[in-house]
Amino acid sequence: MTDPAPQPTYDYDLFVIGAGSGGVRASRIAAGYGARVAVAEEYRVGGTCVIRGCVPKKLLVYGSHFAEELQDAANYGWSVENLKFDWATLRDAVLRDVDRLNAAYTNTLDNNKVEHFLERATIAGPHTVKLASGREITAKVILVATGGWPVMPTFEGAEHAISSNEVFHLEALPKRVVISGAGYIAMEFAGIFNALGCQVTVVNRSETILRGYDASLRDRLLQITMARGIQYRFNCGIERIEKQADGTLLTHLKGQSDPLPADVVLVATGRRPKTDGLGLENAGIVPGSHGEIVVNDLAQTACPSIYAVGDVTNRIQLTPVAIREGHAFADRVFGGKDTRVAYDCVPSAVFSQPPIASVGLTEAQAREKLGNAVKIFTSDFRPMKNIFGHRPERGLYKLVVDAQSDKVLGVHLIGPEAPEVLQGAAIAVKAGLTKADFDATVALHPSMAEELVLMR
């Protein structure tokens, strides 16, 4: 009788490439199951959301809201004199919070005994990663969680434009901002700069903003932002950027003779999976058509020992989704639990001004699926918050309902604090509650949220 072949030994049970939200969660949970874990991050621990995305951007949104709040203060009896805004103060406060969060995420790794390498790592083989220093490390399982990266154009003068990565580090508040794109990143920064007093022009290749969101919300946001002074150039793109002698920029648009003067040109036309130079070919992994890592429902790639989670897979590019994917991966591979991620009923928000929040099917999606067996309920109202502000802006809440089962298929909101209101409604949609369940719930008055249970 022959002895069984010795099992291969590895430096780690799990090596994670990328210390963003998904990678850190996977590392922590796997280490909690007793795995020997290491993670490599080439920039800062925390990932896009914490370092250069949703968290610092939301802080800028809060900062910009004070322009409106302070203007309204007099109508509430407050005397506010000598109003002045200092961009550097807000910028530096935001960057300090990024430093705090970077330290907090690093402490999370340390507290869970996860070793971390602050350098780039690439895949050298099915069980091998190579650090930028040249060191090669082996692992039984490799997890790729490198996230996404802004898509930048190749037109003449593109080097004068910035992406959402750099916008947090502007030396001064620009007077004129041209934003290329009309997705959530573009619309959020358009609202921020507009509220802070900048002249904002949004340039978009189509005539649709926030593609994928319910049309009623998109139309309402377009009306409100135009009334607030944001200008739009639809059905065109940037042809070239010309830098002037005084440092300002002339943005030439395709098919239009009048260039747009700007102090900053922000390109926000999307993000793509960050897989360039990652060495996927060394493990026989072929990227998808958008550069993404293709995985099955277990987050496993074509190489059985390599997995991927988060934006690098190009499924749903949201931080909470990446966290759930990282957690589920660790549960399955190291915890012996068959944890899966449900991709239906994932709520999302756009922190535009006013914000949008949605969960479930849009009206168009529901009609495509069910035909005429769809009921739509809406509440078009003036938020109480706006009454003393002398703004005619109106909120819009919308329920998409299956006419046969009475099940609420989607909830779509635009108005002050819409994301805060939606989280509770998302639970109801996920639970499969009906319009009758909404109707049977007593309203919380006075609130905007009560509109959800008063639609008839």
Nearest CA-CA partner of 157 in 237, 259, 252:
252
CB 36 within 8 A of CB 352: no
Torsion of CA 252, 185, 377, 454, to 10 degrees: -130
Q: State both tokens at 307.
A: 């997995």
Preceding amide of 354 cis, omega within 30? yes
3-state secondary structure of 116: strand
CB 332 within 8 A of CB 45: no
β-pairing verdict for 12-17 and 37-40: parallel
CB 276 within 8 A of CB 122: no
- Spatial separation of the C-alpha atoms in residues 196 and 275, rounded to whole Å: 36
**To which H or E segment does residue 68 belong?**
helix 54-73
Preceding amide of 304 cis, omega within 30? no
- Spatial separation of the C-alpha atoms in residues 220 and 358, rounded to whole Å: 14
CB 221 within 8 A of CB 414: yes
Gyration radius from the chain CA atoms:
24
| Residue 445 among the catalytic residues | yes
**The 249-253 sheet, strands edge to edge:** 238-243, 249-253, 260-262
- Spatial separation of the C-alpha atoms in residues 389 and 80, rounded to whole Å: 15
Distances (CA, A) of 248 to 112, 260, 454: 49, 11, 52
Catalytic site positions: 445
